[in-house]
Amino acid sequence: SVSESLGKLLESVKVLRLIDSSSALELLSHCALDLHRLDLCRIVTEYNALEDFLETNKRSICSVGFHDVKTCGPGQLEGNLSELSSSMLCKMLKVPLSTPCQAADCVCRSSWERGWRLLLHNDGGTE
């Protein structure tokens, strides 16, 4: 399947950046990758797809960066959108709400935009 092929292509990837499209996230929602960092920018994704992806990969992910990310219910691309927040990420990952979240430069390289980074494990900051 496409998701299995994409998962094999990303086997050695440590940083996954999804900008402007959540298609890969939805395809990979049940693929276990050895990611250290996940960066999401300017996307709309199904809440369940993001939650499934994070649940599948939470053992390896050290941090999640996000900026302008909206979630929706199954089958909805418009309408009832929720802005992704650190508390929503903590709930998806089943980690304490006190998990550190800090302001960070946006990975989409917009010099005027700031994002957030949720720190889960020891993030060495490697790219």
Instruction: Count how many domains the chain has.
Output: 1
Return mean pLDDT, the chain. 85
Amino acid code (one letter) for 45: T
Q: Is the pLDDT score of 73 beyond 90? A: no
Please tell me which residue, 1 or 81, carries the higher pLDDT value.
81
Which alpha helices (H) appear in the chain, and where do they start and end? 2-9, 23-27, 47-57, 86-93
**How many angstroms separate the CA atoms of 35 and 43, rounded?**
19
The first and second tokens of residue 60, run together, are 């390896």
pLDDT in tens, 17-59: 999 988 888 888 889 999 999 999 999 999 999 999 999 999 9
Whether 24 is covered by a domain: the verdict is yes
Whether 115 is covered by a domain: the verdict is yes
**How many angstroms separate the CA atoms of 115 and 127, rounded?**
17
CA atoms within a 13 Å half-sphere pointing along the CA-CB vector of 1: 7
pLDDT of the residue at 123: 46
**How many angstroms separate the CA atoms of 48 and 88, rounded?**
12
Burial of 108 (0-12, 13-18, 19+ CB in 10 A): middle
CA atoms within a 13 Å half-sphere pointing along the CA-CB vector of 100: 10
Whether 103 is covered by a domain: the verdict is yes
Whether 124 is covered by a domain: the verdict is no
Residues 6+ apart with CB under 8 A from 98: none
Whether 125 is covered by a domain: the verdict is no
**How many angstroms separate the CA atoms of 92 and 87, rounded?**
9
Whether 126 is covered by a domain: the verdict is no
Whether 60 is covered by a domain: the verdict is yes
pLDDT of the residue at 75: 65
- Name the pTM for this structure: 0.84
Whether 44 is covered by a domain: the verdict is yes
User: The domain containing residue 8 runs over which residues?
Assistant: 2-119
Lowest pLDDT segment from 4-8, 50-54, 62-66:
4-8
Please tell me which residue, 45 or 124, carries the higher pLDDT value.
45
